[in-house]
């Protein structure tokens, strides 16, 4: 238990520091890296013909979608011809069409759902040119969208910020320096970083063993810092080469928690900026605390459920002192695994250090629920935007109850915005539940299910929750490399990402254009404890109302069966 | 319309620039740094005896001989195979189809899980008649997430001592010492679990046994 608490305590100061740095990068304020980075960025702007002009909300979204579209185009072609290119020492074949479609959407949307296995599905060139490249650019895209959103909430105009500038600055000043440092730490713990082919060794029992190598560390660092989550190897961060020690495990967890949390801090500073200098603005703090409460409740549940073990294994008469160890690694044990599971689904990364399909029913329910809510910190940038939808909804509901005009940061929330907010909140559950319904009613969908009983439904729900939340972890037993699963999850990821971002920026544009009203005595306060409490309640209520029936048929049924059976 | 073309041009150019920066320059720079600073680790922490690589410090191996420590259950058999496993049988199936990682992905409620564990317990008890069922720690009978886990719990190593002593001719004391030498305590006393690297322990076993033979 202590090892979990200590990791969370280390997290707090570094997230605040990073938040301040992120704020400076976003608002183009001075940092100590400027003398070098300004020149570096100038070269990139020149090469790409980028000018420092402010964009309207519409232009911003258009630039975002255009650049993502070109990246998808290049990536898809490369996957289809990888066998013919260089840096392919293990002679990997070209990727099949529907699988390539799924893979490319998956990495461009920051999801990193993988229906292939890295060791046998991708050449080193593809790992670098497609996977690493998209890990940087998809993370930068999400961050740029979030900062455009936040700027519009506090600005008095819709013409502010430039997508390309935001995009470049976050890569060169945040993602790349951090990735290089973390990659070297991971190599120091034992992650390989080499371009030579896999090794075959003679074991001392006279057999042979294949050892998969590759440029693992450089992918591993941006995988976590950009909340991407797609592994170099099939078994992701459970494999000793992707996550060699407890130290690397903690570094990877902190890496994925860093930027989603820092976005909230940066937002808090943007809001507070108008009035005073502070360490952590009050408005952002109330949101941060709400997210933390949801996170901690989930964490404790997973830990207790996994610590209790599997009653069926206890029945077999062996000692389960270490907790439920099926699908877990000995070097992490239950505590480090439970923390990783909660972090990776709350911060919407999707890398795994234990196999989620083998989690106890309640231990598996929490990661699923985290992705269904999609607001417990969430992915880099987009998590904050999702939470802001709930913030606006909470203000609206609270103001209706006490009969005041709903207003946030000086802007009135009116009919048009509320319609878009409601739409935005409904898209995510609609994608998950409708696609799940489709999967369980078609033979092609059912064919993927590999565990019998209630857990089979959990596999389906988890897959679509992960796709729509752009998480990317999976109940990996699901046989998901089929046309049905490749296409449906591809669509779920696509809509979950772009529809949401478009609607959210539209809402921000609407608010940006509104008149600013100073707060009066009658305005609902949105930066105090009562508001935090209300926010958590609304998130849980909406989440529970939408997903409880499905969860009751999946993990909750499995839990009851396990314990009633063994009682 | 002019604005749209302007935007598209910038979008294409920024894609290509980032393609070179993130896809080429970054991984090559990290490779150069890693190879320079941590040469052994950057190449997979391979262990060599007499100039031949026999494994990696970080990747477990499947052991079946009674004189060696056995590891956890692996769905990919630690990517360990014999030459004949790669030759297709009459039905065109192969026992080993290439390097991979992963687990069985059995849900806790899956009857296959119970069947697999029960069969493994029986097998283990047969090979270790002095061990009582309730003393077997679950990590030894459950599959690791990666199928490559190089560690077992300290208890899982200790219950194998009796069998290893009988099969290898070494004394229990010598084997206990090997366990102790290969035990990795919790990092800083708090993080993770205490564990034994069974591949490294087995390499020590081999050296001890060879030393004994040379002595006689």
Residue A329 and residue B145: Cβ atoms within 8 Å? yes
Task: State how far the Cα of A372 lies from the Cα of A402, in Å rounded to an integer.
Answer: 30
Compute the nearest-CA separation of A291 from chain B (Å).
25
Q: How many CB atoms lie within 10 A of CB B211?
A: 9
Whether A333 contacts chain B with CB within 8 A: yes
Biggest alpha carbon–alpha carbon distance for chain B: 90
What tens digit of pLDDT does each residue of A337-386 get?
999 999 999 998 999 999 999 999 999 999 999 999 999 998 888 899 99
Q: Which residues of chain B are within 8 Å of residue A312 when distances are taken between CB atoms?
A: 108-109, 113-114
Contacts of B84 (CB under 8 A, 6+ apart): none
Distance to chain B for A86, nearest Cα, Å: 13
Nearest Cα of chain B lies from the Cα of A102 at a distance, in angstroms, of 20
A207 vs B: CB within 8 A: yes
Residue A223: predicted pLDDT: 95
Contact (Cβ atoms closer than 8 angstroms) between residue A167 and residue B13: no
Name beta bridge partners: B187: B191
B200 CB within 8 Å of a chain A CB: no
Q: What is the pLDDT of residue B90?
A: 79
Query: What single DSSP character describes residue B49?
Result: E
User: ipTM for the complex?
Assistant: 0.94
Quote the percentage of chain A above a pLDDT of 70. 99
Residue B147 CB-half CA count within 13 A: 20
Residue A1 has pLDDT above 80, yes or no: no
Q: What is the mean pLDDT of residues A391-396?
A: 95
Task: Give the H or E element holding residue B54.
Answer: strand B52-56
Task: Tell me the DSSP string of A158-223.
Answer: S----HHHHHHHHIIIIIHHHHHHHHHHHHHHT--B--SPPEEEE-TTS-EEEE--SBHHHHHHHH
Can you give the pLDDT at residue A275? 63
* Chain A hits for B144, Cβ within 8 Å: 238, 327-330
pLDDT at A207: 94
pLDDT of residue A45: 95
Minimal CA separation from A159 to chain B, in Å = 15
The H or E element that residue B197 is part of is strand B195-197
Pairwise CA distance, residues A269 & A272, whole Å: 5
8 Å CB contact of B64 and A205:
yes
Q: Is B43 on the interface with A (CB under 8 A)?
A: yes
| Cross-chain Cβ contact A217/B34 below 8 Å | yes
Q: Is the minimum CB–CB distance between A312 and chain B shorter than 8 Å?
A: yes
Task: For residues A417 and A392, give the distance between their C-alpha atoms in angstroms, rounded to a whole number.
Answer: 9
Cβ contacts (< 8 Å) between A217 and chain B: which residues? 30, 34, 42
Render pLDDT for A75-112 as a digit per residue (tens, 0 to 9): 999 999 999 998 999 899 999 999 999 999 999 999 99
CA-nearest of B37, B21, B192, B135 to A179 is: B21
pLDDT single digits (tens) A110-141 = 999 999 988 889 999 999 999 999 999 999 99
Please tell me the distance from the alpha carbon of residue A114 to that of residue A95, in angstroms, as a whole number: 13
Distance of alpha carbon A337 from alpha carbon A309, whole angstroms = 13
Taking CB atoms and an 8 Å cut-off, how many pairs form between chains A and B?
A: 378
The phi, psi pair for B73, rounded to 5°, reads -70, 135
Q: How many Å separate Cα A22 from the centre of its chain? A: 18
**161-180 in B: which are within 8 Å (CB) of A?**
none
Contact check, Cβ <8 Å, B101/A179: no
Distances (CA, A) of A336 to A245, A265, A343: 11, 26, 11
CA distance A392 to chain B (A): 32
Tell me if B107 and A246 make a contact (CB, 8 A cut-off).
Answer: no
Q: How far apart are CA A341 and CA A349, in angstroms?
A: 10
Sign of the torsion formed by the C-alpha atoms of B27, B32, B33 and B34:
positive
Res B181: pLDDT: 96
Residues of chain B contacting A69 with CB distance shorter than 8 Å: 11
Residue A273 confidence (pLDDT): 66
Q: Distance (Å, rounded) from C-alpha B145 to C-alpha A355?
A: 5
In tens digits, chain B (216 residues) has pLDDT values of 677 888 889 999 999 999 999 999 999 999 999 999 999 999 999 999 888 899 999 999 999 999 999 999 999 999 999 988 888 887 777 888 889 999 999 999 999 999 999 999 999 999 999 999 999 999 999 999 999 999 999 999 999 999 999 999 999 999 999 999 999 998 888 888 899 999 999 999 999 998 887 776
* CB count in 10 Å sphere of residue A144: 28
The phi, psi pair for B152, rounded to 5°, reads -130, 160
> What is the per-residue burial (b if ≥16 Cβ within 10 Å, else e) of A131-140?
bbbbbbbbbb
- From chain A residues 416-445, the ones with a CB under 8 A of any chain B CB are none
Give the list of residues 6+ apart from residue A277 with CB closer than 8 angstroms, or none: none
Ramachandran region of residue A154, left (φ > 0), alpha (ψ -120 to 50) or beta?
Answer: alpha
Give the angle A259-A347-A125 at the CA atoms, nearest 5°.
75
Distance CA B142, CA B161 (A): 20
Nearest-Cα residue of chain A relative to residue B7: A63
pLDDT of residue B216: 65
**Distance from the A407 Cα atom to the nearest Cα atom in chain B, whole angstroms:** 35
């Amino acid at each position: 238990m202590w090892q979990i608490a200590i990791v969370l305590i280390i997290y707090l100061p570094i997230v605040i520091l990073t938040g301040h740095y992120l704020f400076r990068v976003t608002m183009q304020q001075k940092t100590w890296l400027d003398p070098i980075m300004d020149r570096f960025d100038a070269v990139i702007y020149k090469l790409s013909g980028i000018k420092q002009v402010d964009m309207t909300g519409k232009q911003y979204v258009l630039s975002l979608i255009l650049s993502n579209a070109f990246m998808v185009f290049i990536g898809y072609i490369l996957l289809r011809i990888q066998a013919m290119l260089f840096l392919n020492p293990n002679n990997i074949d070209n990727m099949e069409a529907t699988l390539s479609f799924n893979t490319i959407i998956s990495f461009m949307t920051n999801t990193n759902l993988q229906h292939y296995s890295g060791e046998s599905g991708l050449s080193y060139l593809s790992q670098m040119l497609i996977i690493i490249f998209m890990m940087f650019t998809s993370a930068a895209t999400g961050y740029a969208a979030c900062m455009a959103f936040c700027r519009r909430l506090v600005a008095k105009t819709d013409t502010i910020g430039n997508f390309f500038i935001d995009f470049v600055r976050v890569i060169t000043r945040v993602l790349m320096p951090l990735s290089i440092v973390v990659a070297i730490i991971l190599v120091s713990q034992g992650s390989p970083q080499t371009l030579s082919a896999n090794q075959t060794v003679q074991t001392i029992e006279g057999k042979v063993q294949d050892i998969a190598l590759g440029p693992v560390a450089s992918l591993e660092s941006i995988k976590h810092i950009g909340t991407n989550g797609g592994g170099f190897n099939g078994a992701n961060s459970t494999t000793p080469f992707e996550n060699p020690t407890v130290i690397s495990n903690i570094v990877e967890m902190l890496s994925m928690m860093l930027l989603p949390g820092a976005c909230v801090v940066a937002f808090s500073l943007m809001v507070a900026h108008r009035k005073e200098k502070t360490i952590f603005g009050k408005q952002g703090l109330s949101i941060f605390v709400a997210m933390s409460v949801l996170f901690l409740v989930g964490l404790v549940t997973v830990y207790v459920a996994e610590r209790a073990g599997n009653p069926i294994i206890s029945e077999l008469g062996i000692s389960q002192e270490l907790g439920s160890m099926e699908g877990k690694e000995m070097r992490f044990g239950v505590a480090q695994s439970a923390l990783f599971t909660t972090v990776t689904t709350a911060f919407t990364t999707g890398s795994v250090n234990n196999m989620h399909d083998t989690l106890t029913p309640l231990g598996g329910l929490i990661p699923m629920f985290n992705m269904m809510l999609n607001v417990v910190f969430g992915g880099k940038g987009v998590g904050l935007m999702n939470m802001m939808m709930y913030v606006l909804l909470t203000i609206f509901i609270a103001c209706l109850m006490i009969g005041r005009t709903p207003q946030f940061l000086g802007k009135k929330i009116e009919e048009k915005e509320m319609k878009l907010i409601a739409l935005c909140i409904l898209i995510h559950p609609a994608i998950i539940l409708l696609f799940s319904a489709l999967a369980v009613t078609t033979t092609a969908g059912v064919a993927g299910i590999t565990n019998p009983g209630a857990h089979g439904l959990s596999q389906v729900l988890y897959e679509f929750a992960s796709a729509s939340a752009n998480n990317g972890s999976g109940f990996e037993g699901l046989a998901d490399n089929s046309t049905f699963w490749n296409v449906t999850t591809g669509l779920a990821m696509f809509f979950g990402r772009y529809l949401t971002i478009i609607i959210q920026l539209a809402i921000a544009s609407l608010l940006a254009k509104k008149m600013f009203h100073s707060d009066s005595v009658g305005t609902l306060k949105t930066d105090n404890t009562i508001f935090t409490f209300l926010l958590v309640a609304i998130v849980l209520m909406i989440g529970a109302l939408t997903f409880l029936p499905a969860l009751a048929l999946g993990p909750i049924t499995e839990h009851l069966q396990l314990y009633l059976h063994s009682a | 319309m002019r604005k749209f073309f302007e935007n598209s041009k910038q979008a294409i150019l920024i894609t290509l620039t980032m393609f070179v920066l993130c896809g080429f320059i970054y991984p090559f720079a990290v490779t150069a740094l890693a190879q320079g600073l941590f040469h052994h680790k950057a190449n997979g922490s391979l262990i060599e005896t007499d100039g031949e690589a026999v494994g990696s410090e970080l990747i477990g191996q499947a052991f079946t001989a009674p004189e060696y420590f056995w590891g956890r259950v692996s769905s990919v058999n630690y990517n360990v195979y014999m030459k004949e496993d790669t030759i297709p049988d009459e039905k065109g199936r192969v026992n080993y189809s290439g390097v991979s990682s992963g687990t069985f992905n059995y849900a806790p409620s899956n009857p296959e899980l119970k069947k697999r564990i029960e069969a493994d317990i029986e097998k283990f008890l047969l090979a270790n008649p002095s061990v009582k069922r309730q003393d077997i720690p679950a990590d030894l009978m459950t599959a690791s997430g990666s199928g490559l886990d190089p560690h077992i719990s300290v208890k899982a190593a200790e219950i194998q001592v009796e069998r290893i002593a009988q099969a290898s001719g070494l004394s229990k004391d010598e084997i206990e010492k090997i366990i102790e030498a290969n035990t990795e305590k919790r990092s800083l006393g708090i993080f993770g679990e205490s564990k034994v690297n069974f591949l490294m322990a087995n390499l020590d076993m081999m050296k001890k046994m060879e030393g004994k033979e040379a002595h006689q």
